[in-house]
Structure 1
Amino acid sequence: MSVTSQVTNKVHEAQDAISKASANAAARAAAIAEDVNARVDETMDKAGAALTTVSEQSRQAAEKAKSAGEDAKTTVEDVVRQQPIAALLLAVAGGFLVGAMWKGRS
């Protein structure tokens, strides 16, 4: 076998090795990309579910706060109607306390 044919064989072997390595790298890159895409999709699904849960909990908290405010308003209105003089005296006392605290800050 001549030197030229030996060199040619070695070049072909090297080209085959490079082709196989390139194919293996491409297959691994594709598998990694698939895994990354699956994890991104899973993370997005979890984030969407968490956002939905937080949104629902916020809506429920707002409804409870609104209901509590309406209940407090109704209670105050009832007390003022039933005992207007006591409510007036309480308002005056509250005003006096706020004024005293305001004056104390100056």
Structure 2
Amino acid sequence: MSVTSQVTDRVHEAQDAIAKASANAAAKAASFAEDVSAKVDETVDKTDAALATAAQQSREIVEKTKTATEGFKATVEDTVREQPLTALLLAVAGGFVVGAIWKGRG
């Protein structure tokens, strides 16, 4: 076997090794990209679900707060109609308490 043919054989072997390594690297990169894509999709799905749950809970809280506020308002209105003097005295007492607290801060 001549030196030229030996060199040619070595070059072909090196080219084959490079082609195999390149194919292996491409396969690993594709697998990695698929894994990352799957994780991103999973994260997006979980985030969407969490946001939907938070939105639903927020709507429920708003509705409960609205109901409670309406109930409180009706109770105050009824109390003022039924006992106007008591309501007036409570309002004055509340004003004095708030004024005392406010003055104590200054």
Q: TM-score normalised by the shorter chain: which range applies?
A: over 0.9
Q: CA deviation at 1:29?
A: 0.5
Q: What stretches of structure 1 move > 3 A for 4+ residues in a row?
A: none
What does residue 50 of structure 1 align with? 50
Within 5 Å, which residues of 2 pair with 1:22-101?
Answer: 22-101=22-101
TM-score by length of 2: 0.94
Q: How many residue pairs are counted as aligned between the two chains?
A: 106
Q: Which amino acid aligns with 2:31?
A: A
Question: What one-letter code is carried by the residue in structure 1 that aligns with 2:58?
Answer: S
- 1:68 maps to amino acid: A
Question: 1:99: Cα distance to partner?
Answer: 2.1
User: Partners in 1 of 2:57 and 2:25 — Cα distance?
Assistant: 47
Shift of 1:44: 0.3
Provide the aligned C-alpha RMSD in A: 1.0
Q: How far is the alpha carbon of 1:90 from its aligned partner?
A: 1.0
**% identical equivalent positions:** 71
Unaligned runs of 5+ in 1: none
Structure 2: stretches of 5+ with no match in the other structure = none
Cα shift readout 1:25-45 (whole Å, capped 9, x = no counterpart): 101110110111011001100
Please report how far the alpha carbon of residue 100 of structure 1 lies from its aligned counterpart in structure 2 after TM superposition.
2.4
TM-score, scaled relative to structure 1? 0.94
